[in-house]
């Protein structure tokens, strides 16, 4: 293992290995402190960044943070690394790479071509040298497009997941939240339910209900029941209408084992979903959720900081050509991201790293009641993300998820962002909203007049 050092005045800061250097260079956050790997002074944090800035990018190819022999995520990263795509930046240091990313030379086309040549550790390292504005500036230049029945990630668009959860999966309660969301133009990324009951039979009932709604109103959208990947495979075997297959994923083999998955079962699930050929404008069939802290909470972070572990999770996602990936950034709690400052920073980092690696990144802008955050902070993060091209955001009725007991964005919030920033839903869904008579001449979605056509039709959802 290499030693890295930076001398500042009379103090020589030494970092024992690349993982330690990366952890010390990370912005302060409670999860890395809990793991005992964070810089213990602010000076040491900047010393780590100074050392990191001078490090050649190739160091990450020479010294894996988690050994190749013991971790299949490291093997995936190393074995799929595209040396030809990496060539344009191969001679750069991390500091030089940051400057290149921010320069006009890093066009959307150049960044898209570079993505397969970047490892998650390179993306994470660059992010540790960036301010929030840098993260946004580069992310805004990265376009990652995915498609199933709608096309997400196009310029000038902001997608939304309609999340109609219910604590007992009550079909009427879920239908009510779906109607509410559709009236706000939500659901173009996915209508996705976190089920309260995880059995295949219960999931099939929800899948059939969502599919019936989609067909009844001829909505160009995809549905998903966010159950374990093995349940989704079982649902597909029983002939259920599965559009997207969901799974929570993490950046180490051990943390994925904690989720009860490995790369092989993700591949099996993808093939099962592809075999149904349900997509109309594309065949991206996977939906992944990630979040900083998941590896530490599974006691499987291998001494690697939580932001780098998160970028490694994006590399896992990338291998399966997903339709949707989102970080559930504030869900995990204050022992990993203590307050709104840490949540906002982490949301921007995750979006940046995902996009840079070529992942169709969305964000669940959210917090729990024991974190130092509130809806004002979510306004801030959502606005920052929408301003730099996030593929989609998650909306729940009134921002209050009554099933998972946390707060996300409301349908109001996402619609307001679309209107203020002049962003539209994805094109197929936008056309549907027009057909339903829900848009005005500017393409905005005003409050529906009582008894208008769309309201009457949607409220007949269960009839």
Partner 1 sequence: MTAADPFARFRMATRARIGLGRCGDALPTAALLDFQLAHARARDAVHSQADFAAVAAAVAPHPAVEVSSAAADRSIYLRRPDLGRRLDDDSRARLAALPRPETPWDIVFVVGDGLSATAVSAHAAAAFAACRAHLPEDWTVGPLVLARQARVALGDDAAHALGARMVAMLIGERPGLSVADSLGIYLTLDPHAARLESERNCISNIHANGLSYDEAGFKLAWLAAEGRRRGVTGIDLKDEAPPLLAARAEPPKLG
The residue ranges that bind partner 1 (CB under 8 A) are 30, 33-34, 164-167, 170, 172-177, 179-180, 334-335, 338, 368-370, 374-375, 396-400, 402, 405-407, 410, 412, 415-416, 419, 447, 450, 455, 459
For partner 1, give the closer residue by CB, 103 or 168: 168
Least distance (Å) between residue 381 CB and partner 1: 17
Q: Are 156 and 424 in contact (CB under 8 A)?
A: yes
Identify the CA nearest to 336 among candidates 308, 360, 304, 307. Answer: 307
Q: Are 331 and 406 in contact (CB under 8 A)?
A: yes
Least distance (Å) between residue 219 CB and partner 1: 19
For partner 1, give the closer residue by CB, 184 or 392: 184
Least distance (Å) between residue 249 CB and partner 1: 22
DSSP state of 183: T
Q: Are 259 and 250 in contact (CB under 8 A)?
A: yes
Which pairing describes strands 324-328 and 286-290: parallel, antiparallel, or unpaired?
Answer: parallel
Least distance (Å) between residue 172 CB and partner 1: 4
Taking the CA atoms of the chain, what radius of gyration do you get in angstroms? 22
Least distance (Å) between residue 255 CB and partner 1: 16
Strand partners, 188: none
For partner 1, give the closer residue by CB, 180 or 243: 180
For partner 1, give the closer residue by CB, 139 or 414: 414
Least distance (Å) between residue 419 CB and partner 1: 6
Residue 24 token pair: 């010390």
Query: If phi over 0 gives left and psi between -120 and 50 gives alpha, with beta otherwise, what is residue 187?
Result: left
For partner 1, give the closer residue by CB, 38 or 384: 38
Burial of 120 per CB tally in 10 Å (0-12, 13-18, 19+)? buried
Total H helices, total E strands in the chain: 22, 15
Least distance (Å) between residue 353 CB and partner 1: 24
* Alpha-carbon distance values, 299 to 68, 121, 216, 303 (Å): 19, 20, 46, 10
Least distance (Å) between residue 387 CB and partner 1: 17
Least distance (Å) between residue 326 CB and partner 1: 20
For partner 1, give the closer residue by CB, 212 or 402: 402
Residue 30 token pair: 């409670």
For partner 1, give the closer residue by CB, 165 or 232: 165
For partner 1, give the closer residue by CB, 237 or 374: 374
For partner 1, give the closer residue by CB, 111 or 175: 175
For every residue of 2-65, DSSP letters joined together read -EEEEEETTEEEEEESHHHHHHHHSPP-HHHHHTT-S-SSHHHHHHHHHHHHTSBTTHHHHS-S
Q: Are 287 and 226 in contact (CB under 8 A)?
A: yes
Residue 34 token pair: 């809990």
């Amino acid at each position: 293992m290499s030693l890295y050092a930076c001398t500042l005045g009379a103090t020589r800061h030494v970092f024992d290995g690349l993982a330690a250097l990366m952890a010390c260079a990370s912005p302060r956050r409670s999860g890395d402190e809990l793991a005992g790997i964070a810089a213990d002074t602010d000076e040491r944090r900047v010393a780590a960044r100074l050392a990191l800035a001078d490090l050649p990018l190739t160091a990450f190819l020479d010294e894996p943070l988690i050994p190749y022999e013991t971790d299949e995520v490291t093997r995936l990263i190393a074995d799929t690394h595209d040396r030809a795509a990496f060539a344009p930046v191969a001679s750069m240091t991390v500091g030089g790479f940051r400057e290149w990313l921010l320069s006009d030379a890093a066009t959307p086309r150049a960044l898209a071509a570079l993505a397969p040549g970047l490892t998650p550790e390179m993306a994470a390292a660059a992010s540790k040298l960036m301010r929030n504005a840098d993260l946004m500036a580069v992310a805004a230049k990265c376009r990652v497009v995915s498609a199933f029945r709608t096309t997400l990630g196009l310029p000038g668009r902001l997608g939304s997941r309609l999340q109609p959860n219910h604590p007992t999966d009550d079909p009427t309660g879920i239908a009510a939240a779906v109607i509410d969301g559709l009236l706000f133009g939500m659901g173009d990324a996915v209508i996705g339910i976190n089920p309260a009951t995880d059995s295949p039979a219960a999931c099939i009932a929800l899948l059939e209900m969502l599919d019936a709604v989609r067909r009844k109103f001829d909505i160009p959208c995809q549905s998903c029941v966010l159950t374990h990947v093995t349940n989704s495979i079982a649902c597909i075997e029983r002939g259920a209408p599965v559009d997207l297959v969901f799974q929570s994923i993490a950046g180490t083999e051990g943390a994925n084992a904690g989720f009860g998955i490995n790369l092989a079962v993700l591949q099996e699930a993808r093939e099962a979903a592809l075999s149904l050929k349900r997509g109309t404008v594309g065949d991206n069939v996977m939906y992944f959720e990630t979040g900083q802290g998941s590896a530490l909470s599974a006691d499987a972070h291998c001494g690697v900081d939580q932001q780098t572990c998160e970028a490694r999770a994006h590399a896992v996602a990338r291998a399966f050509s997903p339709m949707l990936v989102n970080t559930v950034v504030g869900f995990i709690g204050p022992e990993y991201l203590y307050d709104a400052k840490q949540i906002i920073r982490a949301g921007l980092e995750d979006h940046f790293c995902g996009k840079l690696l070529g992942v169709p990144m969305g964000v669940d802008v959210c917090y729990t009641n024991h974190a130092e955050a509130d809806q004002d902070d979510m306004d801030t993060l959502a606005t920052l993300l929408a301003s730099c091209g996030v593929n989609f955001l998650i909306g729940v009725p009134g921002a209050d998820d009554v099933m998972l007991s946390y707060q996300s964005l409301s349908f109001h919030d996402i619609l307001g962002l679309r209107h203020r920033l002049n962003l539209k839903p994805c094109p197929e869904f936008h056309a549907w909203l027009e057909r339903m008579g829900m848009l005005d001449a500017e393409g905005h979605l005003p409050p529906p007049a009582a008894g208008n056509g769309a309201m009457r039709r949607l409220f007949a959802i269960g009839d």
